[in-house]
Amino acid sequence: MSTPLRLGIAGLGTVGAGVVKIVRQKGNLLADRAGCPVTISAVSARDKDKDRGVTLSQYAWEDAPVALATRDDIDVYVELMGGADGPAKASVEAALKAGKDVVTANKAMLAHHGQMLAQLAEDHGAVLRFEAAVAGGIPVIKALTEGLAGNDMDRVMGVMNGTCNYILTRMQSAGLPYAEVFEEANQLGYLEADPTLDVGGIDAGHKLALLASVAFGTQVDFAAVELEGIERITIDDITQAADMGYRIKLLGVAQMSGRGLEQRMSPCLVPATSPLGQLEGGTNMVVLEGDQVEQVVLRGPGAGEGPTASAVMGDVMDIARGFRVSTFGVPAGSLSETTPAKTATPAPYYLRLSLEDKPGALAKLASVLGDAGVSIDRMRQYRHDAGAAPILIVTHKTTRDALDAAITGMDRLDVVKDAPVALRIETV
């Protein structure tokens, strides 16, 4: 059999330990499939003595990831430490400059530095792969760059943060408030060290920016992703949405139109009967729409040791087989600079607000909506809370600008208590 493909793995936490286990346990299978053995030469993490549930004694140890990345006895540098900057970025840059191929699961680093790193890889004849960074175990990057390569993509969508989907579906099934389910997710260890990465939509926004780049051949532009988290979603929203036949999902949507590239990561209402509406718990789903294929739906685990290591190994195996594809599907220099769409495609919106329960309050609200050109499709006053009347409105299709103008008008009304919650109703 031919020369082995030698890995250097930096980061031996959840994902890194999972990758080591696959390489150790599936040596014959990997060699048969790749046409060469896949081996590990050296590893790196912070604590050399930590028990990681896997034997590491036969691999060389490097304290410094940069030293690991540039060793002569590695062909592929596998970066599984995380962090947008710091040792992850420094070591990936060092590996690419040394002409090493790189596989990473690091969505934060690529969302911020993807274009620069893709260019660096090309300049040094290396490949940079990141399947595990988007929707964990779902092979969505391969689906776009290979299986769907003959399509012009129209829209890509996804539920790509398992923690948020767990929180939202658990609120619905157990009838529990957000704060209680958030704490439950915390106890279960689902939340990132900085939970705002999850519930603020940032982690999922990173993934959407990468997906959009591959789908539309554009430079990664995380700064242009409209981000909104799930922190303001109440059990009332979940119940009211369910009553109308919807589910609330933290949904990422990237769509190219004449107005430019729209990238939104926000809580949306989707039909309860749609595949996205039926997605329960921590599972991820990605919906890919192309001009030839129409719609492809991929569903699977978005996180965890096995699923994420599985995606890392998919990239490693491509390299072992000699399959070399540009980081974002086309050469870095051909990725176009995105023109972010100034305003999102019009859609119906769900609006929840609390009005003072007194004569004329509703009339003032209706007048503000009318002045902004927002038309009401359905409206419901569904309870009375100590002088306040919770109001639910579903608008006809409108622009986000018109809705924002209406919300600004509402903020000025003395009868509106608290800032209204506005959720887009997405056609899926």
Q: Residues interacting with ligand NAP, by CB under 6 A? A: 10-16, 44-47, 50, 65, 80-82, 87, 105-107, 132-133, 136, 303-304, 308
Q: How many Å apart are CA 98 and CA 240, to the nearest integer?
A: 56
Q: How many Å apart are CA 282 and CA 280, to the nearest integer?
A: 7
The interface partner of residue 12, options being ligand HSE, ligand NAP, none and the CB cut-off 5 to 8 Å by kind, is ligand NAP
Residue 335 to residues 90, 92, 115, 116, Cα–Cα distance (Å)? 23, 21, 9, 12
- By the 10 Å C-beta count (0-12 exposed, 13-18 middle, 19+ buried), 78 is classed as buried
Supply the minimum distance, in Å, between the C-beta of residue 23 and ligand HSE: 22
The interface partner of residue 198, options being ligand HSE, ligand NAP, none and the CB cut-off 5 to 8 Å by kind, is ligand HSE
Q: Which is nearer to ligand HSE, 136 or 390 (CB)?
A: 136
Q: How many Å apart are CA 6 and CA 43, to the nearest integer?
A: 11
Q: Does 82 bind ligand HSE (CB under 6 A)?
A: no
Q: Say if residues 23 and 78 touch (Cβ distance below 8 Å).
A: no
162, 205, 329, 420: residue in contact with ligand HSE (rule CB under 6 A): 162
41, 106, 161, 354: residue in contact with ligand HSE (rule CB under 6 A): 161
Q: How many Å apart are CA 146 and CA 131, to the nearest integer?
A: 13
- Residue in the block written with tokens 């072992």: 320
Q: Say if residues 218 and 336 touch (Cβ distance below 8 Å).
A: yes
Which is catalytic among the residues 89, 142, 207, 249?
Answer: 207
Per-residue contact flags (x/-) with ligand HSE for residues 98 to 137, judged by CB under 6 A? --------------------------------------x-
Q: Which is nearer to ligand HSE, 111 or 253 (CB)?
A: 111
Residue from 397, 393, 396, 390 nearest 407 by CA: 393
62, 75, 131, 198: residue in contact with ligand HSE (rule CB under 6 A): 198
Supply the minimum distance, in Å, between the C-beta of residue 24 and ligand NAP: 17
Per the structure block, which two tokens stand in for 232?
Answer: 């303001």
Q: Say if residues 292 and 158 touch (Cβ distance below 8 Å).
A: no
Q: Does 203 bind ligand HSE (CB under 6 A)?
A: yes
Angle, CA of 16, 203 and 115, to the nearest 5°: 80
Q: Does 345 bind ligand HSE (CB under 6 A)?
A: no
Q: Stretches 25-33, 34-42, 160-168, 309-317: which one binds ligand HSE (CB under 6 A)?
A: 160-168
Q: Which is nearer to ligand HSE, 180 or 192 (CB)?
A: 192
The interface partner of residue 15, options being ligand HSE, ligand NAP, none and the CB cut-off 5 to 8 Å by kind, is ligand NAP
Phi and psi torsions of 231, nearest 5°: -60, -25
DSSP β-ladder status, 38-44 and 60-61:
parallel
Q: How many Å apart are CA 259 and CA 412, to the nearest integer?
A: 31
Which residues in the 308-337 window bind ligand HSE by CB under 6 A? none
The interface partner of residue 145, options being ligand HSE, ligand NAP, none and the CB cut-off 5 to 8 Å by kind, is none
122, 154, 192, 226: residue in contact with ligand HSE (rule CB under 6 A): 192
Supply the minimum distance, in Å, between the C-beta of residue 13 and ligand HSE: 12
Per the structure block, which two tokens stand in for 236?
Answer: 């009332």
207 a catalytic residue: yes
The interface partner of residue 47, options being ligand HSE, ligand NAP, none and the CB cut-off 5 to 8 Å by kind, is ligand NAP
Q: Say if residues 385 and 347 touch (Cβ distance below 8 Å).
A: no
Q: Which is nearer to ligand HSE, 163 or 310 (CB)?
A: 163
* String of DSSP letters for 357-371: SSTTHHHHHHHHHHH
Q: How many Å apart are CA 350 and CA 425, to the nearest integer?
A: 7
Q: Which is nearer to ligand NAP, 50 or 383 (CB)?
A: 50
SS3 78: strand
Q: Which is nearer to ligand NAP, 64 or 235 (CB)?
A: 64
43, 303, 368, 374: residue in contact with ligand HSE (rule CB under 6 A): 303
Angle, CA of 217, 219 and 222, to the nearest 5°: 120
Q: Which is nearer to ligand NAP, 45 or 94 (CB)?
A: 45
Q: Does 252 bind ligand HSE (CB under 6 A)?
A: no
Residue from 44, 45, 131, 126 nearest 93 by CA: 126
Residue numbers of the site for ligand HSE (CB under 6 A)? 136, 161-163, 192, 198, 203, 302-303
Active-site annotation, residues = 207
